[in-house]
Structure 1
Amino acid sequence: MSSASRFYLINVGVPVLLAVLLFCMFDLTNLDVLISNQFYDPVTHNFVLQHDHLFEKLTHKLPRIIPDTTGELAVIGMLLSLIWPLLPKGRFSAWLERVRVAPSLRWLAAHRRDFIFVVVAFAITTGMVHYFKSHTSVWCPVETTLYGGIHEKREWFENFSLLHEAGEGRCWPGGHASSGFTVLALYFVARRYRWRHARALFAAVMVLGLVYGTTRVPQGWHFVSHTFWSGIIVWLTMLGTALAFYGRERLSQPALGARQRQADGLGAAVLESVPVVSGR
């Protein structure tokens, strides 16, 4: 299998397969409702953590600091990256060298594409999530008749409209989960530079998004599947943006640490294949 085929099989084929499984397991069954029922009290007509302000603050408001700060730093970095190339070379630039500001400005300029990528990836991904929200019009659990609301529960594909807004519901896919998953932009930057800890970063971001999304379930503001759909949509959108910025070859290169380990392993294999001549 060619490297290109393997790349697309893993990064596109696997998410599409997961989407099919997700569709069959949740969208075509009552599994979402069965899970949410475990957190709903039919006597009080409330979800167990629906009105817990501390839980709301710890799991919904405070965690926004991570994606918000990432996006803000990317915008600041993008703007600062424009400064060094525009500075006239003379006394002022020499002064910046003396005060050790110039190296930072040169570094920012050298990574301008990465800052722009993060900003654009955040914007496109957020726009895509909002597109699906408005063009599927899915209501949150607490807003449906199942849990004391006034709206009928419907699946996203029952309401989907390609060109027009489908209604006022805005619960699918999970917006809070998507804000965590958007930090995947840093993973693609790490892949570009073949950082050996890129996979660990990927795992951390996935856990972040899953925590962001699943903590909304006991509050009644999302079904479990909303989080999984959010992850798949964000991944495919982010992947397309990364391919446009960096190209497939750059993103498919193995981590430097992995390549070094492969080289060491090859060298050891060569040494083992050389016959040992013992003296007599």
Structure 2
Amino acid sequence: MPLSARQRFYLSNLGLPLLLAALVWLLFDLTNLDRWFSDLLYDPATGHFLFQHDALFETLTHKWPRILPDWTGELALIGALLSLLWLLVARSAGATALLEAARLAPLLRLSNRHQRDLWYVVLAFALSTTLIHYLKSHTGVYCPVETTLYGGSQPHLEWFEQFSLLSKAGDGRCWPGGHASSGFTLLALYFVALRHRWVHARALLLAILAVGMLYGTTRVLQGWHYMSHTFWAGIVVWLSCCSCALLCYGRPALQAAPARISNRRACETPSALQSR
């Protein structure tokens, strides 16, 4: 029996991420696979990871890349506030004329036209960041370089070993990957593209996933995260962004016919359409 559109949507957007979560837990959290990867990057002779103390690598892969998600979130918040400003000034002909003279009116109209998208991005960023910080403090996992496995003083712990729902689990703040999650927060833009039927939405999705994986992998090379921390960050952020998109847009708005199909049909002649 074929699946309905509703079932296909939830299966691909919620079911698959949850399946991936189960696979990551089985393959990484219940085995030594994470440590095997990190062992390849660790030099016992020097007691350092490959790029652990490389200042240039730290700047290029950790400090500068933060600009992209930070600016995206800040611009979305500014745009959302401008959309509210336009609702206020549009009631006054004098204020509108003043903004027109200052050439600010087009910007305010644009923000008002995309008000829902802007507030969605703000909400998705806020929820993703909140969940990541909550999980960090309520699992108390230490980073590899902080543990006795790699020259540190803290015990190696898995996130589920001391998870606490209502209280902080410890001083560790390493699970899920924070830097990776900042890259994955750009997934909010994918759901905006999906809502507007952008033809290149899938390409945008792949690019954002690549950015998140790159952000997380660079921290693995420095010994500040295990590889699974990046996967967990992507799963948490995806579920956050998808949940917010369902709240702000609704499933039908995210699952209408792709733009390329609609455009192709629009280009067909009436006789071709009637022949179907």
Alignment of 1:146-225 (within 5 A): 146-225=149-228
1:7 and 2:9 correspond: yes
What value does the CA root-mean-square deviation take over the aligned residues?
Answer: 2.1
The residue aligned with 2:45 is 43
Alignment of 1:73-112 (within 5 A): 73-87=75-89, 88-97=91-100, 100-112=103-115
Question: Paired residue for 1:62, among 61, 64, 85?
Answer: 64
Distance in 2 separating the partners of 1:264 and 1:28: 54
Distance in 2 separating the partners of 1:247 and 1:221: 38
User: Secondary structure at 1:38's aligned position in 2?
Assistant: helix
Distance in 1 separating the partners of 2:115 and 2:130: 23
Distance in 1 separating the partners of 2:264 and 2:26: 41
Letter in 1 for 2:166: L
- Unpaired runs of 5+ residues, structure 2, are none
TM-score with structure 1 length normalisation? 0.91
Question: Paired residue for 1:248, among 244, 247, 251?
Answer: 251
Letter in 1 for 2:158: E
Alpha carbons of structure 1 residues 81 and 36: separation in structure 2 relative to 1, 3 Å: same
Letter in 1 for 2:88: L
Distance in 1 separating the partners of 2:238 and 2:38: 25
Distance in 1 separating the partners of 2:95 and 2:269: 52
Distance in 1 separating the partners of 2:236 and 2:61: 22
Alignment of 1:120-139 (within 5 A): 120-139=123-142
- Does the Cα contact within 8 Å between 1:196 and 1:258 map onto a contact in 2? no
* 1:215-270, Cα deviation, whole Å (9 max, x unpaired): 11121100000000100011001111111111111011233123334677999997
User: Secondary structure at 2:220's aligned position in 1?
Assistant: coil
Distance in 2 separating the partners of 1:134 and 1:5: 35
Q: Which has the larger radius of gyration?
A: 1
* 1:23-60, Cα deviation, whole Å (9 max, x unpaired): 11101110000100011111111112110000000000
- Unpaired runs of 5+ residues, structure 1, are 275-280
The residue aligned with 1:235 is 238
User: Secondary structure at 2:164's aligned position in 1?
Assistant: coil
Letter in 1 for 2:201: A
Letter in 2 for 1:198: A
Following superposition, the deviation at residue 103 of structure 1 comes to 2.5
The residue aligned with 1:278 is none
Distance in 2 separating the partners of 1:146 and 1:205: 32
Following superposition, the deviation at residue 99 of structure 1 comes to 5.2
Following superposition, the deviation at residue 152 of structure 1 comes to 1.2
User: Secondary structure at 1:220's aligned position in 2?
Assistant: coil
TM-score with structure 2 length normalisation? 0.93
Identity %: 58
Distance in 1 separating the partners of 2:143 and 2:101: 58
Alpha carbons of structure 1 residues 11 and 64: separation in structure 2 relative to 1, 3 Å: same
Question: Paired residue for 2:24, among 15, 22, 25?
Answer: 22
* 1:84-137, Cα deviation, whole Å (9 max, x unpaired): 221143234234335543232112112111111111111111000011111111
Distance in 1 separating the partners of 2:271 and 2:150: 64
Letter in 1 for 2:220: V
Alpha carbons of structure 1 residues 270 and 138: separation in structure 2 relative to 1, 3 Å: same
How many pairs are equivalent? 273
User: Secondary structure at 1:154's aligned position in 2?
Assistant: coil
